[in-house]
Amino acid sequence: MEDDAGVRRFVGKGLREQAYAVDMATTGEEALYQAEINTYDLIILDVMIPAPNGFEVCRRIREAGGRMPILMLTARDAVEDRVSGLDRGADDYLTKPFEFRELLARLRALLRRSAELRPPQLTVGDLVLDTAEQSAMRAGRPIALTHKEYALLEYLVRNAGRVVNRADIAEHVWDETFDPFSNLIEVYINRLRRKIDPDGKAGLLETRRGAGYLLKAETATARAGKTRGPAGSDAKNGLERKKHV
């Protein structure tokens, strides 16, 4: 939710490359509509978005019961502006221009504080994801994943032991431009299965015909510490709620 088209494209592209699913709004009314019909892990909100402005959008989201973290962006660095945004329900403030890596760091910090605490490391059996490094290991062996493969695997791990269908995956891992008639989800599931079950025997990821996909979770745990070696991402979204910014 950003008023400057260039900044909006830059932020959206960068977040997608970091395995976040991203919806974008160009006006305050559109932002409020999106927040009403979707459930987001986090909202990035520009103060100067066309009416209603970011302060009012933030206030109305909180008034409607929205509990997701909200990060305010502004070109104005006056203390009064920061106080105004925080008083209306914002969780953090970032002044433009900013370094993209700082934006990512603030997103990670806000997501760690969200209602569903997101530990840096997730474990299902001998499958380990490090959510700060965007990497995964199986039985100590690093797994090479693209950003989207990682985002899909993290969503499955966070929902381990529960069957998730195509609609769930499309909502939480892809964005609003996803074509529901595409076979892209099946393609990515098959890629993941080959990578996490390379010998075809472990069977950690199952397809439930007519229902969806299941990542087995008999020994699912979440660890607060890091192990040495390759590790996973902090993405997204959530959202599960929408894994979405």
Closest to 226 in 3D by CA, of 122, 147, 117, 111? 122
Cα–Cα distance measured from residue 199 to residue 203, given in angstroms and rounded to the nearest whole number:
9
Name the residue type at position 104: L
Question: Consecutive 10-residue runs of the chain (245 residues): their mean pLDDT?
Answer: 72 86 90 88 90 92 89 79 84 88 89 62 88 86 91 90 89 78 90 83 82 76 38 37 50
How do strand 92-95 and strand 70-74 relate by DSSP bridges? parallel
Question: Is it true that the peptide bond before 97 is cis, omega within 30 degrees of 0?
Answer: yes
Cα–Cα distance measured from residue 228 to residue 15, given in angstroms and rounded to the nearest whole number:
26
Q: What is the pTM of this model?
A: 0.56
Cα–Cα distance measured from residue 78 to residue 35, given in angstroms and rounded to the nearest whole number:
27
Cα–Cα distance measured from residue 213 to residue 192, given in angstroms and rounded to the nearest whole number:
12
How do strand 121-124 and strand 127-130 relate by DSSP bridges? antiparallel
Cβ-Cβ contacts under 8 Å for 11 (sequence gap 6 or more)? 2, 44, 100, 103
Region of 210 (left: φ > 0; alpha: ψ -120 to 50; beta: rest) is left
- Predicted local confidence at residue 3, as pLDDT: 55
